[in-house]
Amino acid sequence: MSASYQIKLPQFEGPFDLLLFFIERDELDIYNIPIFSLTKDFLAYIHSLDELNIEMASEFILFVSTLMRIKAKMLLPRKEIDAFGNEIDPRQELVDKIIEYKRFKEASEQMVLLEAERMLLAKRGNIKKELDQLGEDYAEGTEIQTVTMYKLMNTFERIMKKLRDRNANPQHVVVKYNYSLEGQRSFLLDYMKEATQSSFEDIFM
């Protein structure tokens, strides 16, 4: 296994990007992930890096701990059972996230191709000035440069969780009006005593 790390591996945007690389490299079954060997691959990759920034390192280390937690659950003698009495595979949540990340990645790659095609089309105006302005607006070091597919997926996941929580616990807002049935009844009686004739709009509008 260590011999495979003598070659230079590419940089990855995040742990899911690296995980997809391992799955495709070893032609693994995404629904039957070998947690133990993947954990070793992740640790070997982290140790092979010459430098790794703190934020990226924390993402990879957290992911390795997630793999170890899944492996520990798989070793437990008592398995988790769902509401229908079926055994819950501890890897299922990870599988779902891999599939979701793969969709994001494919969509991102498609957008890159569309952007490249668009750049080949005839441009109007001063294209050099526009490109220079874009370069200044999105210069190296700005926040947009730090956005990765892994972060986008995590953000999307948090948004969807909030939406599910909100739908599961709907809040009904009760508005209190400064009117009462008795008060409005008295108002109408007094109004009708004084007015010889009146329209619906005069009373209620």
- pLDDT score at 8: 44
Let me know: does 188 contact 203? Beta carbons within 8 Å. yes
Residue 48 lies in a domain: yes
- pLDDT score at 85: 78
Q: What's the sign of the alpha-carbon dihedral 195, 198, 200, 205?
A: negative
Residue 68, classified by CB atoms within 10 Å of its CB into exposed (0-12), middle (13-18) or buried (19+), is middle
- pLDDT score at 51: 65
Residue pLDDT, tens place only, 134-150: 666 555 544 544 556 66
Residue 185 lies in a domain: no
Residue (of 191, 194, 193, 185) closest to 203 by Cα position? 191
- pLDDT score at 144: 47
Number of folded domains in the chain?
A: 1
| Residues in Cβ contact with 22 at an 8 Å cutoff, skipping those fewer than 6 apart | 28, 38, 41
- pLDDT score at 145: 47
- pLDDT score at 148: 63
Determine the Cα–Cα distance for residues 4 and 44; give it in Å rounded to an integer. 10
Rg (CA), the chain: 30
Residue 188 lies in a domain: no
Let me know: does 24 contact 30? Beta carbons within 8 Å. no
pTM recorded for the entire structure? 0.47
Residue 75 lies in a domain: yes
- pLDDT score at 122: 54
| Residues in Cβ contact with 59 at an 8 Å cutoff, skipping those fewer than 6 apart | 14, 15, 150
Residue 149 lies in a domain: yes
Print pLDDT tens along the chain (205 aa): 444 433 344 566 778 888 888 888 888 888 888 888 888 888 888 877 766 666 677 788 888 888 888 888 888 777 778 778 788 888 888 888 888 888 888 888 888 777 777 777 655 556 566 666 666 655 554 454 455 666 666 777 777 777 777 777 766 666 676 767 777 777 777 777 776 666 666 665 5
Residue 190 lies in a domain: no
Residue 175 lies in a domain: no
* Structural domain boundaries enclosing 35: 2-168
Residue 31 lies in a domain: yes
3-state secondary structure string across 97-158: HHHHHHHHHHHHHHHHHHHHHHHHCCCCCCHHHHHHHHHHHCCCCCHHHHCCHHHHHHHHHH
